[in-house]
Amino acid sequence: MTKTRILVVEDEQAIADTVIHVLENEGFVVDWVSLGGDAITSLNKKKYALMILDVGLPDMNGFEVCKAIRAHHNLPIIFLTARSEEIDRVVGLEIGGDDYVTKPFSPRELAARVKVILKRVNQAPTEIVHSNKLQVASSGCDFLLNNQLLSLTSIEFKLLQHMHQHAGMVMSREQLLTAGGFAHDAGYERNIDSHIKSLRAKLRKFDDNEYIKTHRGFGYSLNEIT
């Protein structure tokens, strides 16, 4: 059986060694580069299931690397950073990151997040969604709104899929975690708001309607997209 290959992009060797060790113990094959440019080159040569990307790289910002990668690749990306400000987390998620881990971090928690994301990516859609405006893309892991590709992350895809199947129903953050197959103990709940904000922005790009409604103290609902 072919092992799952992960790319680690981290310029601090001690941190990279720790991440590589814990991932290899979980059965993954891990490649390591220390520069953003080398990460882009590696992705063009090999197929990776997931990338762990440091934000503070010597040659280019990790956010810039993510933007360059998203133009050609749709693999899940976990940001690794020393910056914990909310704006950095929001920006990282909005440009296509799937998760955001702040240093110092637990290597076991990072490995758990990797496994949860890969499990979610490999899950088959539970139901094909079609409407006049919203359709599942031919890839099966993205949506078209008004015939325009939304370029969703794997998390955003699962959230929109579930909310569309339950249009009009108020979903709590916990319900959204469960629906997406996220691990409640892996720290995803604090990022749900950021993922919803990013999903809102992508829907708004191709349609002026405000489809996602916030219910303060309860959660979110999606108006029917017809």
Q: What is the pLDDT of residues 109-160, one digit of tens each?
A: 899 889 988 887 776 554 545 566 888 877 677 888 988 888 888 778 888 8
- Select the more confidently predicted residue: 26 or 225: 26
Residue 128 inside a domain? The answer is: no
- Same domain, yes or no: 53 and 90: yes
Residue 129 inside a domain? The answer is: no
Residue 191 inside a domain? The answer is: yes
- Same domain, yes or no: 88 and 9: yes
| Tokens standing for residue 164 | 């569309």
The CATH number of the domain holding residue 17 is 3.40.50.2300
Distances (CA, A) of 194 to 50, 57, 223: 20, 24, 19
pLDDT tier at 85, thresholds 50, 70, 90: low
Question: What is the pLDDT averaged over residues 22-42?
Answer: 96
Residue 127 inside a domain? The answer is: no
Tokens 């370029």: give the residue: 151
Among residues 100, 122, 144, which one ends one of the domains?
Answer: 122
Distances (CA, A) of 144 to 93, 133, 141, 157: 20, 8, 10, 11
Among residues 122, 148, 183, which one ends one of the domains?
Answer: 122
Structurally, the chain folds into a number of domains equal to 2
Among residues 76, 95, 122, which one ends one of the domains?
Answer: 122
- Same domain, yes or no: 37 and 114: yes
Buried b (16+ CB within 10 A) or exposed e, 180-216: bebbeebbbeebbbbbbebbbebbeeeeeeebbeeee
Tokens 């059986």: give the residue: 1
Threshold 0.85, pTM exceeds: no
CA–CA separation, 28 and 33 (whole Å): 16
Residue 14 inside a domain? The answer is: yes
Residue 171 inside a domain? The answer is: yes
Residue 113 inside a domain? The answer is: yes
pLDDT tier at 87, thresholds 50, 70, 90: low
What integer pLDDT is reported at residue 12 of this predicted model?
94
Contact predicate 65/154, CB 8 Å: no
- Same domain, yes or no: 73 and 160: no
- Same domain, yes or no: 83 and 150: no
- Same domain, yes or no: 118 and 148: no
Residue 83 inside a domain? The answer is: yes
- Same domain, yes or no: 14 and 118: yes
- Same domain, yes or no: 113 and 151: no
Question: Domain containing 161: what range?
Answer: 134-222
